[in-house]
Structures are given as structure tokens and as C-alpha cells.
Homo-oligomer: A and B are copies of this chain.
Amino acid sequence: MDANQMNSTNDTVCKLREKLAAAGLRPTRQRLEIGNLLFESGDRHFTAEMLHAEANRLRYPPSLATVYNTLHLFAAHGLLREIAVYGAKTWYDTKTGPHFHFYREDREELFDIPDALIPILNIAAPEGTMIEAIDVVVRLRSI
């Protein structure tokens, strides 16, 4: 294990390497570092800017272009999910399965709606189309 992986367990790194391999992605230093940040703890919700800020604390931080690149790649290969919210920024979620989100506008926080609260959305796609995804964002404000 080299210096770049000092703060992750061997186990975590191995799983991540498998994850990348399964997706057909080369295990570059930058992807491993970003992957470690993203997947070492539970579900995370973040923007490119937030991830880049976090990555800048690493010894050899990946560039902003690489952060965007990696996020797109991870999303395209099912390791992450993109979420459209009001405002300019794109959000990402490490939980990829179907679920909905709360967005707290005053704090700019995005978080999952617990499964228990989710009714089944049973919507039929129009002729000639199929449903790619269902995006539900419940916007909240403080009382």
C-alpha cells in the first residue's frame, strides 16, 4: 500500500478496485482517491464543488477537471446517481437505487426521504417511450 492510500483500509481499497474493474474503469490514483472519499462512509450527497474542496485536502489533489470527469464516469457506470435540483449545481448521491429526496433550500442540503415514507409511483410511460428514471425532490423550508 502506498502513501496515497494511508487513510483507508486495505479492505476498502480492494473493494474499490473491484468496483472499478467491474465497471471497466482503470484504477488510476485519482479515481481511487475520489472513490475512497465517496464510498468510505455511508450514503453521501454532494456537488462537484464540495467534492473538489474535500479532495484538495489530499497530498496530491486531483484537478477540478478530473473531479468532473470522474463524477460523470462514475455516474455513467452506475456507481453514482445524478440529481437535478433548482439552482445551477448538479448534485450526486452514492445511493444509486430508486429513492426520493428532500432539499432544504435555506441550508442547501440534500438528503434521502426514508423508504418508509415513499408511496409507490405507478406511472405509465406514453406510447413509444420508456421510463428512464423518476426524479422526486421535495423542497423544504424552515418553519
**Contact surface of A with B, Cβ cutoff 8 Å:** 82, 84-88, 90, 100, 102, 104-105, 113, 117-126, 128-143
**Contact across chains for B135 and A140 when beta carbons are under 8 A apart:** no
Q: Closest approach, in angstroms, between the C-beta of A92 and any C-beta of chain B?
A: 12
Contacting residues, chain B, for A104 (C-beta < 8 A): 129
Whole-angstrom distance between the alpha carbons of A76 and B124 in the complex? 32
**A140: which of B125, B137, B139 is its contact (CB, 8 Å)?**
B125
Subset of 30 A-B contacts with CB under 8 Å: A82-B86, A84-B86, A84-B87, A84-B137, A88-B88, A104-B129, A105-B132, A113-B123, A118-B123, A119-B119, A119-B121, A121-B136, A126-B140, A128-B142, A129-B140, A129-B141, A129-B143, A130-B140, A130-B141, A130-B143, A131-B139, A131-B140, A132-B139, A133-B138, A134-B136, A134-B139, A135-B135, A135-B136, A135-B138, A135-B139
Whole-angstrom distance between the alpha carbons of A31 and B125 in the complex? 37
Closest 4 CB pairs of A and B: A129-B140, A132-B139, A84-B86, A135-B137
Whole-angstrom distance between the alpha carbons of A121 and B113 in the complex? 12
Contacting residues, chain B, for A82 (C-beta < 8 A): 86
Contacting residues, chain B, for A140 (C-beta < 8 A): 125-126, 129-132
